[in-house]
Amino acid sequence: MNRPADKVRIAATKGSSGTIIDAIGQFEIVNSLTEPSQALFEIGSMSSWVKLKESIEIGTRWAVVVNDRARLTGRMISRRLPVTSDAGATVQLTVRTVLADAAFASANPFICLSKCSIKDVILQAYAPLGLGEEDFVFSPRVARDIMTGKGGGGTDVDLEEIKEDAAKVHPPETIYAFVERHLARFHLTHWDAPDGRIVVGAPDSRGQTFYQLRLRRDNPQANNITSAEKIEDYEQTPSVLCVSGLGGGKDYGKAKVRSAEINTVLNDIDPPINRPVFVVDDAVKTQSQADSRARREMLARSRQTDAWTMDVPDLAYWDGSKLIPWGIDTLADVDVEVAGASARGAYLVHKTTMKGSASEGYSTSLEMVARGIWVL
């Protein structure tokens, strides 16, 4: 069975004009776990502007569709008409999601926190943007009380203690930053879903792999990676990370509960690189909480110690019978063996960047980290 050709289009969503644009000269589509998704397009010429002017009004809602599957849904927030003497005029359009609005708009300083769940507070924060519960995909843990962490589903979390004054909105804190600050206490985050909703949860690196990625010298005909960059960045990684709690206060020596995680790479260097980090938190009350916090803090500072950026041809993975979209919060089975770099195992994809033009064809850049080191 032959691989079908990739297709890209932008389609006006319900309540808009119903226009579909598929004559796209250039594009870049970005999906990420850590920032709002966005898409940039260049279409046609001056005649396209005249023909589509009413359809591409600022604020028009569009779905960006790749191979008949939505990549992101948002609003047309920018349009440009660059003109040159040799190339004439083109139309440039930018589509951004509601998370981009949340990253710009200030949060309401009067959000109620008393006896509210995480979910309640998120809905209050996003209400000024016109969002309701149907616009979110919530993890079971969002039923917990925002201040105490009690109630709700899932396993217990070693919750960082916070007082109500500190928990409130800090103007001009944005909606996105306020919500992300509280989600981080519960080891959660939020990101754009392809259909325009917002996912509230945590990346899952425990599932099955979706893609087989290969770049080897011994059988280059089987390779499906065009280029790759291995990243081993220890600039933000401590040599040892120590957590103390229960009575320590600011005096680490008085802590009754302690735990430490050691980075063997930095410590095995001769002479060792000594970069200790100390975390003091009286909310840590048991040894298991201290162990968990130390492990999580070390992993959070070590994401870039085993990371890759891989460029692949086309806009979807072909398994021999069907197209599988390149997606974030997915796992890839990586097999790389080239001069000076190797990797074998599962990697979590946290960012995809699709690019294309009539002259250069289509490609996708995948940013990923080793399974197990993306911990919130």
Distances (CA, A) of 310 to 17, 130, 194, 207, 215: 38, 37, 22, 21, 10
Strand 341-357 to 24-32 pairing: antiparallel
Q: pLDDT at position 45, please?
A: 59
Averaged over 356-375, what is the pLDDT?
Answer: 90
Question: 266: helix, coil or strand?
Answer: helix
Query: In this predicted structure, which of 29-43, 57-71, 99-113, 156-170 has the lowest mean pLDDT?
Result: 156-170
Q: pLDDT at position 14, please?
A: 59
- Is 70 exceeded by the pLDDT of residue 9? yes
- Is 90 exceeded by the pLDDT of residue 175? yes
Distances (CA, A) of 345 to 68, 215, 307, 332, 351: 30, 13, 12, 8, 18
Query: pLDDT band at residue 114, thresholds of 50, 70 and 90?
Result: confident
Query: What are the b/e assignments for 277-314, b being 16+ CB within 10 Å?
Result: bebebeebbeeebbbbbbebbbbbbbbebbbbebebeb
Alpha helices in the chain (DSSP H): 46-52, 98-102, 118-126, 164-167, 175-185, 264-268, 287-300
**In this structure, are residues 24 and 92 in contact, taking their beta carbons and an 8 Å threshold?**
no
pLDDT digits (tens, 9 = 90+) for 260-319: 999 999 989 989 899 999 988 777 778 888 888 888 888 888 888 889 999 999 999 998
Question: 369: helix, coil or strand?
Answer: strand
- Highest-scoring range by mean pLDDT, 27-36, 149-158, 302-311: 27-36
**In this structure, are residues 203 and 44 in contact, taking their beta carbons and an 8 Å threshold?**
no
For residues 96 and 192, what is the distance between their CA atoms, to the nearest angstrom? 10
| Amino acid code (one letter) for 129 | L
Averaged over 156-167, what is the pLDDT?
Answer: 65
Q: pLDDT at position 128, please?
A: 97
Please return the burial class of 376, using the count of CB atoms within 10 Å of its CB with bins 0-12, 13-18 and 19+: middle
- Give rounded-to-5 percent helix, strand, coil for the chain: 20, 40, 45
- Is 70 exceeded by the pLDDT of residue 53? no
**In this structure, are residues 40 and 92 in contact, taking their beta carbons and an 8 Å threshold?**
yes
Q: pLDDT at position 104, please?
A: 96
For residues 361 and 314, what is the distance between their CA atoms, to the nearest angstrom? 8
How many of the other CB atoms lie within 10 Å of CB of 169?
Answer: 19
pLDDT digits (tens, 9 = 90+) for 217-252: 888 888 999 999 988 899 999 999 998 886 555 555
Query: pLDDT band at residue 358, thresholds of 50, 70 and 90?
Result: confident
